Amino acid sequence: MRLNAYLARAGVASRRGADELIKAGRVTVNGEPGQLNTFVESRDRVDVDGRPVALQRLAYLLLNKPAGVITTAHDPQGRRTVVDLVPPEPRVVPVGRLDVDTTGALLLTNDGPLAHRLAHPRYGVEKTYVADVEGEPTDAILGALAAGVELEDGRTAPARVLRLGQHTVELTIHEGRNRQVRRMLDAVGHPARALHRSAYAGLTVDELDPGGYRELTDREVEQLRRSGPPPA
């Protein structure tokens, strides 16, 4: 595995932070200065500032993100982050993002290849949102959401849309654009007053209190590895 990925798995820093450590000459592999393109194998010794580091066990956590929490591993402004809600070891990072006011299903892991797969739009990982919206969307509006909405970064892919109540709709999408569901609802004139991601790749948070988390089962991890079609 690449050296920055190894350092991230070891809980030393994010991949970007690991790159900075490597460029600063603080990382050695088998006694030699590490490079950005260095690959590490199981028999190699990696040191940071002269101290050996080792891979942490792979971890997969499902969090019911509450409102008001930032989806990042570290916030320069000192605001509470999703990483603050889970154990510090082994170090995990969120897969994708939920904006600060959106609640619901968020996966955190230190499995880089799986995180990349889940975040890659070509794999079409499904995400289901329940939105409390302003006004009363008509059937025509729901049909427009399902067919795809023109946004500033292009038309959205078709979605599954259900009416759950007078002011409540459920949308299932497989894209991962920034604030996509909120922007879709804004575009059709029914902004979200509250937004909750009820399911991510088939995983739900129905049994988790806001701020609660659980470890995934081995079967669920395998389900994630098989989610979505392979890229072309």
Q: Which domains are present in the chain?
A: 3-53 (3.10.290.10), 60-121+203-226 (3.30.70.580), 126-200 (3.30.70.1560)
Beta-strand runs (E) in the chain: 27-29, 32-33, 46-48, 51-53, 60-65, 93-94, 103-109, 127-133, 150-151, 154-155, 160-165, 168-173, 192-200, 203-204, 213-215
52 DSSP β-pair partners = 47
Q: Select which of 49, 99, 101, 153 is catalytic.
A: 99
Question: For the whole model, what pTM was predicted?
Answer: 0.82
* 99 catalytically annotated: yes
Hey, what are 72's tokens? 């990042």
Q: From first to last of its 232 residues, what are the pLDDT tens digits of the chain?
A: 899 989 988 888 878 889 999 999 999 999 999 999 999 998 999 999 999 998 888 999 999 999 999 998 888 888 999 999 999 988 898 998 899 999 999 999 988 888 888 887 777 899 999 999 999 999 999 999 999 999 999 999 999 999 999 999 999 999 888 899 999 999 999 999 999 999 999 999 999 999 999 999 999 999 998 875 544 4
- Check residue 229 and give its pLDDT: 52
Alpha-carbon distance of 88 to 56, in angstroms, equals: 12
- Check residue 182 and give its pLDDT: 97
